[in-house]
Structure 1
Amino acid sequence: MLHYLGYFAAIFIGLSLGIMGGGGSILTVPVLVYLMGVSPVLSTAYSLFVVGSTSLVGASGYFRKGLVSLKTALVFLLPSLLAVFAVRKVVLPAIPHEVLRVGAVVVTKDLLVLVAFAVLMVAAATSMIRSRQADATLDAELHAPHACNYPLVLAIGLVVGTLTGFVGAGGGFLIIPALVLGARLPMKLAVGTSLAIIALNSLIGFSGDLSAGTPIAWPFLLGFLAFALGGIVLGTYLARFIPGARLKPAFGWFTLAMGTFILVKELLFHHA
């Protein structure tokens, strides 16, 4: 029964990416862990493949409309790709299964990944809940007379690459403000460029898993991806009629509830 819910959730993940240009990827790891029974560390690898592939489909639509800034994406990706590949290829495999033991309390690698992911979910949820205020601030800043802040774009690229590599999420809630405030891109151009960055970041990160010898259950992964791709195609169509800005706060509250659930479950009931 949970597996059926997992495939339905995959459609929902793609749907939110298609309508809002982001957000849905933050749910991929929890869905894989709690509904599909995938281990937390392996689920981050699967998430990179699913998020990267669905974002690539979304970005291709924006690219055809001329809404992807290749120059800005390249500047952002230089540090980001190095960071995400290094984390997946070197850092994550080097973390021991038992990270810390204090008396009867054991912090495992899986627990560390889930807690880090839940914290990222809470941060992303806060960003989505405040999206209307944030969008207004971004628009106001965009019309201020400033040149492209390349150091800011490079720095956030490094941070996003590290986060993407460690928790398997796209980081769109960090990328879009960086592109608008740092690179001075209009919002629609920032969304398309963000999807292109997320796609390349995620797929390069996944290649790090492949080169590190991570075992991949391809029939399961491709089946899950098929449902997510169906969702993003439907979401791209519905985006003509449903403004993504209206859905972001509600989706943010849902994400906040999910993040809080993971923190409570893993920190308070992990050893129960």
Structure 2
Amino acid sequence: MSRTLTLIRTGWDSIRSIAASGRKADALAQLELLLVRTDVPTDIAAEGHQLAGTIALDLGRFTTARRHLKAASGFDVTDANTRYLTGRAWEEDPEGCDRKAAIAFRKATLLDGTNPLYRAAFGRAAARCGQVRRGVCEMTAAAEQAVDDVAVVRIAVNGLLELGKLGKARSVLAKAMFLRPGHSELSTAWERTKFEAARRNQRRVLKTRENTRYAQDAQFAREGDRVLLPFIRIADGTSTASGPSVRVDTVSFPRPHFDRLRISKLDR
């Protein structure tokens, strides 16, 4: 029995070394083989499932990640990081669920209320689920709590830009760039914020022009004057030998709008 445990721990150490070297696919494959054993110690099983979930999340295998993270949370229900990773597995999956992601992030914040990363992630997920006011409050509070944390600022700014809160996003970025001047990611986010502001302003100008033109046309029509359209030729209805003739037969007249007027004098 002791020899089996020694082999399991040796294999576990080897898997962690493989994962640390960047060979994540190989590490996940060996973890899958290790975790199906029934004689794996509890501590290795808990850490192994969490590591497998993290690796699967990095590889984009979201269903596998959720399966391992669910198993890991069964070993330790008080681990906030496992809940946070579960939320990411739901959020980053193209076929995932924002509501389930928000629930997982909420559980992470309840287990560790001092972590601004969990709070920012929950705020963005809550806003995507329709709780806009609460989401904005959570994201701005998390950014205020960790202004120098680029990961927190990234989540908060992206969430605020999704909601169109350009002023709040600029405020968060200005404080972060003051503490980290010249940071490439923050500079890119600042340029994106400026672009979104310019695009919104352009849309507002075009909408104003369109509404102004419609208002002018409506006011002109209310004055009782006639509007001369360029593709309409006005004729007095008389026919001359030299000039063009205007049709006055039945076909040239518009059809009446009411059923009782369909038979006119010209049709009799």
TM over 0.5: no
**TM-score range, shorter-chain basis?**
under 0.3
Q: TM-score, normalised by structure 2?
A: 0.23
Q: Greater RCO between the two (CA within 8 Å, min separation 6)?
A: 1
